[in-house]
């Protein structure tokens, strides 16, 4: 399965909003890595960042490796990657032993440390892994063709377990409007990170 093929399927949507040169991406969104596109979109709106997302419908859960999400397959993606200079890509993962861990991969290690500090402040009950040696190799997001690394200043690949995305069974009784508390804290951390980064922090 290639990106260009995926984008032709019924129910698959591609979204791009160009704002600042800081970008949020979630190209495994919708039913695939649940809530990743919703989180990235909300953060982008709160801090006037640009947003690119792909949403898959419930009946389609085809995962395309990040390094195969390339600009030559989508004019919309190409426009986004030409516009932004730095990005955070939002992903979901589930791995035994990491259900309360957030992984900060990608090639911009200074941004990873900056984001890590904000995540620790807002999510003290989670383990924030911003040292590459602590992240499973296949989740480090270092491939040169990965969208997180192709823009001018590269960026951070943020891997989120289900609990912090609000898609864990622990939230099954949550009836309040808006995000569950952990997801709201995550969105606040990302928003604070981007705002302070753009101010030259």
Q: Is residue 1 a contact partner of residue 73, using CB atoms and an 8 Å limit?
A: no
- pTM of this prediction exceeds 0.85: yes
Q: Which residues contact 50 (CB under 8 A, 6 or more apart)?
A: 16, 17, 18, 19, 20, 21, 22, 23, 24, 44, 80, 83, 84
Could you tell me what percent of the chain has a pLDDT over 70?
Answer: 99
Q: Was domain 3-198 assigned CATH 3.40.630.100?
A: yes
Q: Does residue 149 register a pLDDT over 80?
A: yes
Task: Give the domain ranges of the chain.
Answer: 3-198
- φ/ψ bin of 48: left (φ > 0), alpha (ψ from -120 to 50), beta (otherwise): left
Q: How much is the pLDDT for 169?
A: 78
What's the whole-number average pLDDT of the chain? 95
Q: Does residue 201 register a pLDDT over 80?
A: no
Q: Does residue 141 register a pLDDT over 80?
A: yes
Q: How much is the pLDDT for 155?
A: 98
What are the tens digits of pLDDT across the range 39-92? 999 999 999 999 999 999 998 989 999 999 999 999 999 999 999 999 999 999
Q: How much is the pLDDT for 176?
A: 85
């Amino acid at each position: 399965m290639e990106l260009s093929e995926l984008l032709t399927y019924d129910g698959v949507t591609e979204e791009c909003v160009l704002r600042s040169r800081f970008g949020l991406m979630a190209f495994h969104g919708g039913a695939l890595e649940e809530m990743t596109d919703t989180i990235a979109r909300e953060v982008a709106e709160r801090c006037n960042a640009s947003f690119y997302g792909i949403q898959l419908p419930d009946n389609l859960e085809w995962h395309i490796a990040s390094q195969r999400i390339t600009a030559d397959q989508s004019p919309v993606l190409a426009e986004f990657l030409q516009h932004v200079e730095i990005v955070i890509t939002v992903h979901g993962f589930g791995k035994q032993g990491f259900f309360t861990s957030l992984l900060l991969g990608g090639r911009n290690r200074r941004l990873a440390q900056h984001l890590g500090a904000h995540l620790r402040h807002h999510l003290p009950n989670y383990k924030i892994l911003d040292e590459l040696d602590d992240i499973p190799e296949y989740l480090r997001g270092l491939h040169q063709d990965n969208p997180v690394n192709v823009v001018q200043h590269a960026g951070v690949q943020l891997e989120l377990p289900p609990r912090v995305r609000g898609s864990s069974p622990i939230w099954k009784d949550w009836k309040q409007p808006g995000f569950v508390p952990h997801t709201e804290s995550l969105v606040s951390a990302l928003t604070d990170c981007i705002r302070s980064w753009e101010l030259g922090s």
